[in-house]
Amino acid sequence: MDNIDYKAAYERQKKARERVEGIIELRSRELYDINQKLMSAYKKLKAQKLQLIHQEKLASVGQLSAGIAHEINNPVGFIKGNLGSLKDYMESIKTMLEVYKNLTDEMTNSTEVSAEELESVNKAKKESDLDFILEDVNDLISESIDGTARIEEIVLGLKNFSRVDSDEKEELLVNNCIENTVKLVNNEVKYKAEIKLNLNEVPKTIGYPGRLSQVILNLIVNASQAIDQNGVITITTKEVNGKIVIEAQDNGCGMDEKVIKNIFDPFYTTKDVGKGTGLGLSIPVANDF
């Protein structure tokens, strides 16, 4: 009898254990499926966020295109003008060199130089304005070199701003990032506001340069849109307790209570469709650092 009871108890225990194991296996599969779905959803959200960031960059580049074109056209314009002047100067120099060549040929064949020959040299020198040309050539070349450097600077800044950051963080110089972004956006806002930089010494860090540039640009553009004229936008960097702090301040119209309440919602914006994402997108970007 005892053996029968023991056997029955064993069978019941075995069935109960198998039932529990089956439930655990089922729940494990369900949890695995849920986890896979969550991972898939996370990847989609991450991809969508990166797409939004990229779209915002393209929108920003579109907004800045007129200012950037103006910034590039200025140095291109005076480089073109300088090259035209240099071409004319070269014609005068060639003429003067021909006169000197003829004079040296005469001096080779004669021990004396006539007064007429000297007069012709002085006349050619005066007509060619050689002294001014020799002085101005250096200035034109220096201006042209500075202009090409300015264009390179703008193009590099635009390239760094527009590029898609990788998933890997990299060394980041916050002050440089801010300065380069201001160079891109300054022509867009300079008629409404002056951008003042108070950049204190801060340590190197790691992060996403392109995304930080996007945040800074959004701050500046949004601040300028809240200013009618004679505005001031001040950006300050400093180190506080081992952390890099970036502060942006302006004298614009400010925000009402509704906007203040929602300003930290990740994708909140008061802008019309196609006018950018406002400051909302800056929140998830900043959280990546």
pTM of the model: 0.52
Decide the pairing of beta strands 193-199 and 231-240: parallel
CB distance 221 to 276 below 8 Å: yes
Enumerate the domain spans of the chain: 1-29, 71-157, 167-287
* The CATH number of the domain covering residues in 167-287: 3.30.565.10
* Full DSSP string of 193-252: EEEEEEE-----EEE-HHHHHHHHHHHHHHHHHT--SSEEEEEEEEEETTEEEEEEEE-S
Q: In tens digits, what is the pLDDT along the chain, a chain of 289 residues?
A: 555 566 666 667 767 777 767 777 777 777 777 777 777 777 777 776 666 666 666 566 656 666 676 777 778 887 888 888 888 878 877 777 777 767 666 665 555 656 666 676 667 666 667 677 777 877 888 888 888 887 877 777 777 666 655 567 888 899 998 998 888 888 778 888 899 999 999 999 988 887 788 888 888 888 888 888 888 999 999 999 988 999 988 888 777 777 667 666 655 555 554 444 455 445 555 555 5
C-alpha dihedral (213, 219, 222, 227), degrees to nearest 10: -120
